[in-house]
Amino acid sequence: MLSALIVEDEPLIREYLRSNLNHIHHSWQVGGCAKDGLEAIEILRRHHFDLVITDIKMPRCNGLELAAYIQENICDTFVVILTGYDEFKYAREALRKGVTDYLLKPLDENAMNSLLDTLSLRIDQIGARHECEYQENITEQEDESPSLLIERARIYIKENYTRPLSLNDVASALSVSPSYLSTQFKSDRGETYTKYILRLRMELAIRLLESYKAGKVSDIAQEVGFSSTKYFDSAFKKYFGMTPNEYRTKTEQQIEKTNTEKEQM
């Protein structure tokens, strides 16, 4: 059974899809729901979905921003956007950003069934291709120790993590399958690829926030590999318990306090 995440701020549409997706196409089931893009990102960090069906216009983080996050950070997850006729220009923009397809509101069950059927076939083809890649690379992978592979992966990531960098990108650069790399990466130190690259970006972010006091948070977000300041703010707050601006203010206050104490000595 294939799994979909529904991202929609309108409760009626969200509930309709949650209740009816499996009836529309029996190969699919709803594995989760979110009210906006930020909530969806939190869910995607914990669970994998074959498909994300998302509205375009939502508070905090819209569908296009969510699609950009998925394209940069998650492999083998399709994105379908929901759009009205008056938003069709956004649909065209979304397709240029890597969105798989779109569905027009009000939703047509026949059109949705056809699209879900197409995606089912594509997922089957991807699975078959990955299995073929795995078989082709298995001899090479066995000849190279997992520890050496992960060391090469870490070097490549450290050289490239300040730009959008997916697991697929790293696997392609190392000539191994994404599934094999993901498994070996996690078993190496118990830290997944996603957590590892996030840690690198957060460590660089605090260095930049401390070193470049006049630098804009939006510029720092781009510098550490985030395409959106919203994503950066959200990830930073989840990681450190405060926003980048709050961290910068706290650091400046600590420095000022230390300097004052030195002057009084």
Number of domains in the chain: 3
Residues 65 and 104 in one domain: yes
Which of 166, 191, 216 marks a domain boundary? 191
DSSP lists the bridge partners of residue 80 as 53, 101
What's the distance, CA 134 to chain centroid? 24
For residue 165, count other CB atoms closer than 10 A to its CB: 20
What are the residues whose beta carbons fall under 8 Å from the beta carbon of 86, sequence distance 6 or more?
A: none
Residues 151 and 173 in one domain: yes
Residues 185 and 208 in one domain: no
Residue range 5-46, pLDDT digits in tens: 999 999 999 999 999 999 999 889 999 999 999 999 989 888
Residues 178 and 217 in one domain: no
Query: What is the DSSP annotation of 66-132?
Result: HHHHHHHH-SS-EEEEEE-GGGHHHHHHHHHTT--EEEESSP-HHHHHHHHHHHHHHHHHHHHHHHH
Which range marks the domain in which residue 241 is found? 200-264
Q: What is the mean pLDDT of residues 202-218?
A: 86
Residue range 52-99, pLDDT digits in tens: 999 988 888 888 888 888 887 887 789 998 887 555 566 666 666 567
Distances (CA, A) of 82 to 50, 53, 99, 114, 246: 17, 7, 11, 15, 36
CA distance 232 to 225: 9
Residue 136 in any domain: the answer is: no
pLDDT at 89: 61
Q: What is the mean pLDDT of residues 163-185?
A: 82
Residues 152 and 210 in one domain: no
The answer to whether 9 touches 66, Cβ cutoff 8 Å, is no
The mean pLDDT of the chain is 82
Residues 20 and 53 in one domain: yes
Residues 185 and 212 in one domain: no
Higher pLDDT, 214 or 162: 162
Exposure string for 150-159, b = 16+ CB within 10 A, e = fewer: beebbeebee
Residue 138 in any domain: the answer is: no
Has residue 139 got a pLDDT over 50?
Answer: no
Quote the pTM value: 0.56
Residue 59 sits in a domain whose CATH number is: 3.40.50.2300
pLDDT at 37: 92
Q: What is the mean pLDDT of residues 246-261?
A: 78
